[in-house]
Structure 1
Amino acid sequence: MRVLKQRKMYEAQQETLYNQTFNLDQVAFAAEGLKDAKQTMTALQSANKELKGVMRTVNIDDIDRMQDEMMDLMDRSNEVQESLGRNYNVPDDIDEEDLLGELDALEADMGMETEPNAVPSYLQPDKETELEEEMTLPAAPTGQAAAAQPNWHSAPMEDELGLPAVPRASLRG
């Protein structure tokens, strides 16, 4: 029993010490907060004095005038850039509908050319020229006449100097 009484007494003393320590920590925290507040107040006062001194030298009317001048200069600069960027070859009276029509026609032409194995119209031969070429082509040699012909494919295409080779059959010597 005596041990239980001592234990309760120690627990009560321990609780009192914890409370006292907590109170001391709270006071120290409050004191530190006040010191920080005082430093902040001093900094704000010095900043206030400095701002007042600077504001005496700044005139809002001067700032507004400067802003207006800057806007005028920017407008003049844009006018100069537009003038320099003018295109001399494009007339002013171009109809936008005509341009869109031409663009649509070009897109349609390009759409036809994107089909597989499609040849652009500017690379396709004329029908008349194609028929004439078919009529004038010689027939391929057959039989002994073909054997008598020189083999052009086995002859070198260039000589040692890089010039076109002369066929052996045409050399006389």
Structure 2
Amino acid sequence: MIYNQTYNLDQVAFATEGLKDAQHTMSALKSANKELKGVMKTVNISAIDSMQDEMIDMMDISTEIQESLGRSYNVPDDIDEEELMGELDALEADMGTETESDAVPSYLQPDKESDLDAELNLPAAPMGNAAAVPNRARPQAENEFGLPSVPQASLRS
């Protein structure tokens, strides 16, 4: 019975707190409504629309100015756009072959009549004896990460 009485008192206290919170909320809403009405008296929707129209007009004028300044003076009238697009496609295709790992761009490929090495007068690559290579130049064993392994004499116990 005491438990039920305590529960009822807690319910009444909870309801009282809820009503006080509602009163605070209502007073805050009233003051916000009053302030909003005061601010709305200073705002004129037709003035806002007029300002937006002016902004649109100024942006249009700005675009016209930029287009006028962006004109090119030395572009001939007889340019064939399809020919330009063909050249652009050829350049894109050439650049596409450059991105491949083993491809050589066309401007670096030698002519069919002459060899590039002969044109540049480059000497042939040396062909040496593997026995003449010192020990430090020979490849070392690699560990699991692909790095040179540490000699056993260097490891501390």
The TM-score, its normalising length taken from structure 2, stands at 0.57
Unaligned runs of at least 5 residues, structure 2: 115-157
The reply to whether residue 65 of structure 1 matches residue 50 of structure 2 is yes
Task: Name which of 34, 44, 63 aligns with 1:49.
Answer: 34
Give, in angstroms, the shift of residue 49 of structure 1.
1.1
Distance 2:21 2:86 in 1: 76
User: Match for residue 18 of structure 1?
Assistant: 3
User: Match for residue 157 of structure 1?
Assistant: none
Could you say which structure has the larger radius of gyration? 1
Give, in angstroms, the shift of residue 95 of structure 1.
3.5
- Number of residue pairs aligned between Structure 1 and Structure 2: 114
Give, in angstroms, the shift of residue 20 of structure 1.
1.1
The TM-score, its normalising length taken from structure 1, stands at 0.52
| CA deviations over 1:98-121 (Å, ceiling 9, x no partner) | 222222344556678879686846
RMSD: 3.4
Identity %: 68
Amino acid at match of 2:21: D
Unaligned runs of at least 5 residues, structure 1: 1-15, 131-173
Distance 2:76 2:47 in 1: 45
Give, in angstroms, the shift of residue 97 of structure 1.
1.9
Give, in angstroms, the shift of residue 21 of structure 1.
1.2
| CA deviations over 1:41-99 (Å, ceiling 9, x no partner) | 11111111111111111111011001111111122222222222223333466433222
Secondary structure of 2:71's match? coil
Task: Name which of 4, 8, 24 aligns with 1:39.
Answer: 24
